[in-house]
Amino acid sequence: MCGIVGQVRADGGPVGPPLLERMCSALAHRGPDSRGLHCSPGAGLGIQRLRVIDLETGDQPIYNENRSIAVVLNGEIYNYAELRARLQRSGHRFATEGDTEAIVHLYEEEGPDCVSSLHGMFAFALWDSRRQQLLIARDRVGKKPLFYAERHGVLSFASELGALLQDEEIPREIDHRALDAYMTYLYVPAPLSAFRAVRKLPPATTLVYRAGRASLQRYWSLDFAAKREVGRIEELHEQIREAIRAAVRLRLVADVPVGAHLSGGIDSSAVVAAMAQQASGQVKTFSIGFGNSAFDELPAARRVAERFATDHHEFTVRPSAIDVLPRMVRHYGEPFGDSSAIPSFYVSALTREHVTVALNGDGGDESFAGYYSYIFSLLASRLDRIPLSLRRLGAGIGAHLPTSCENRSTLSRARRLSSGLTLDPPARFSRYMSCFDRPERERLYTDDYRTLLDGSSPESLIREAWERASGETMLDVMQEVDITTWLPGDLIPKVDIATMAHALEARSPLLDHELMQFAASIPAELKLPHMRKKGLLRDALRPWLPEDILTRPKQGFSVPLADWLRTDLRDFATAILLDPRSRDRGYFREGAVSDMLNSHVAGSADHSSRIWALLVHELWHREFVDGAAPAVPALSHAAA
C-alpha cells in the first residue's frame, strides 16, 4: 500500500523533482518505507511505499526491460502470480518478485485494457515515454483513491487532495455544488471535489492523457440483471461461504503480519471465521469500544474472538477523541462528515502497533442487503397504492416525530419512513440517504448562499444512478445505487484515509469484485427473507458463527455522538459554530444553527450528525481555505 503522485506536461517540459518531493512528503504517512521518483521529459512520477509484498526488490517506480515504461502503484494485485507466469511464457523478463511489475508487462501486451485483467485494489499511474502517454486507473470498486487536476496542457495527480495541492498552480476556488452535496450526503461524490479545478477519478475508470487531451473510459460495472438459478437453498449457502473463503484466501498473501478488525457484527465475524480456517497461525483481532452499552460491541467481538481463539486486542475511546478531529480533517482533504471515521482512525492507529495489514468486513451490507433504507423503501413502495391525500397525511404526522440522522430509535425510523411517502422511488431513496434533505438545507442556508447554489441538485446523484442501474427489482436497484454512490463516496474513503494515516493496509474481502458479482446474481427475493436484513447471509453463516451473533441487531461502527454533544463536546461545538469566523462565511443562518444546538442539548431532538457535519465543514475551511489550521494534538486513547 502506498501513495502516488505525478505530473505530465504536453509540451514535453521537465517536471522538477522539488514538486514531486513536496507531493511525496505530503503522503509520507501512506508509505513510510521508501520514496521513489521518475523524471523524464514531459513526465514525473513519485511514490511513498509501504512494503507489504516483495520487501527486498519491490521498491518503485517499476520499469519494463528497456525502461521506456514506468509505473507507480498504490494497492495490491492479488492475481499477480498467475499474471507473472502467463507473461513470462510470452517472453517478458521480470526483475522483481512483486505485484507491480505485472502491470508494466501486461500494459505492453494489452495497452490501457490491461486493467481488465487485474484482480485487486489499486490506483496506478503508468508513463509510456515512447507514446508520450499517461495512463492512470482505479480498481473496479474504488478501493484506492486518485485525485487529478488538468489545466493548459498539464495534468497533475495524487492519492490525496492535500498532496495534489502541493502543486501551487492549481486554483483553489471552492466548488459550492460539491459542498451542497456534502451537506446532503456527508461526503463529496465523484467526480466532484471540494475545489472546482480538482476531480476524483471514478472507480472502474481509466484516464489516458496524450498530447494535452484526457480521455476517460469506464471498464467494468456490476450486472444485477443476470440471475442464477437456485436449487436447494443449502447449496447456495455453501456457495456463499466458499466465495467468502476464496476472497479471504487472496488477501492473506503478505510478507508482513496480517490481522483483522473485528466489530462483533456478522460481516467482520465472517471474515475472521474464514481467516481462522485458512491462516497459517493464530489470527490477531482488534476491537474498539466506547464505554457506552448502547454503542459498545466489545462483548460481541470478544465472543467471536473466543470462538476462533484469536490473539485479541481491545480498546476504549473516550469523548476526548474530538482531539483528533483537526488531524482527521487534514487527512481527508475535503469535508467528510461520517462520524464513524473517529473509531476507524483510532482502531487503525492501535492496530498498526501489532500488524501492517488488517482485513475488515466492509461490503457485506451492500451486497447482501443490510440497510434499513432498503426496508424503508420497500415498505413505502407497498403504500404507493394508497391515495396520495392519505400518504400526505401520514407524511405530515411523521414530520412531527423526533428528528435524527441516526437510524436507532423506533420513532426516528418511523419519521424517516414517513418522510418518503409522497415521493417517487429514487427521490424517496435519496431522502432516506440524506442528512440534510432539500427543505432542511433551504432553512439552513442564507439567502445569498441559496442564490449562489441556484441549480444545484445533489439529489440528482441518486436519480441518475437509479436510472443507470441494471437490476429489475427495487432491491437490486437500491443495492446498485449504493455500490456506485455511497460505497466509493463514504465507506471506502473513510477506511482508506483512516488506515493509511497510520501506514496500515486495509483489505476488504467482501468487496472482492467476483464475490460482489456472485451476490448480484442472487435473486433479490432470497436476500431479505421476511424483511430480515441480510437474512440470506445470516442463514449461510450459521455453521460458522454463534447464534447470538447472527441474531443480534446491527449497531454499525458508530460513536455515542449524541451524548457527547450534550455533555463533553457541547461547549466545543457551540464555540466553533457560533464563532464570528464561522458566521461571517455567509453559508448558514445563525438562528438555524443556534436552534439546532439548543434543541439537541435540551434533548428534544437528535441533531448529532447535522452538528458534526457543520463542525467538519467549518474546520475544513479553516484548514484548507483560510490557511490557518488549528493545532493538531497528539493522537491519544484510553485502553479498556
Give the distance, in angstroms, between the CA of residue 14 and the centroid of all CA atoms in the same chain: 35
Separation CA 158–CA 317 (nearest Å): 32
CA–CA separation, 164 and 155 (whole Å): 11
Nearest in space to 47 (alpha carbons), one of 493, 432, 297, 38: 38
Q: How many CB atoms lie within 10 A of CB 192?
A: 23
Contact (CB, 8 A) for 259 and 284: yes
Cβ-Cβ contacts under 8 Å for 551 (sequence gap 6 or more):
538
Task: List the grid coordinates of 510.
Answer: 467482501
2 is catalytic: yes
249's grid cell: 484466501
Residue with cell 457484527: 265
Backbone angles phi, psi at 255, to 5 degrees: -105, 20
Task: Identify the three-state secondary structure at position 232.
Answer: coil
Question: What is the helix (H) or strand (E) element at residue 71, kind and residue range?
Answer: strand 69-77
Spatial separation of the C-alpha atoms in residues 307 and 302, rounded to whole Å: 9
CB 507 within 8 A of CB 360: yes
Helices (H), 352-403: 364-368, 372-382, 388-398
Spatial neighbors of 511 by CB under 8 A, at least 6 apart, are: 121, 141, 143, 362, 363, 487, 492
| Cβ atoms < 10 Å from Cβ of 412 | 18
> In angstroms, how far is the first alpha carbon of the chain from the final one?
30
Per DSSP (E only), the strands in 112-270 are: 120-128, 133-138, 147-151, 154-158, 198-200, 205-210, 213-218, 258-261
Phi and psi at 71, nearest 5°, equal: -140, 145
Q: How far apart are CA 517 and CA 512, in angstroms?
A: 9
Cell numbers 487485474 correspond to 118
The Cα 174–Cα 194 span in angstroms is 6
Residue 143: closest CA among 164, 117, 120 = 120
- Render the burial of 332-349: b for 16+ CB within 10 Å, e for the rest: bbbbbbbbbbbbbbbbbb
The number of beta carbons lying within 10 Å of the beta carbon of residue 132 is: 18
- Residue 210: strand, helix, or coil: strand
Q: Give the amino acid at 284.
A: K
Instruction: List beta partners, residue 75.
Output: 122
**2, 24, 405, 435: which is the annotated catalytic residue?**
2
Residues labelled as active-site residues? 2
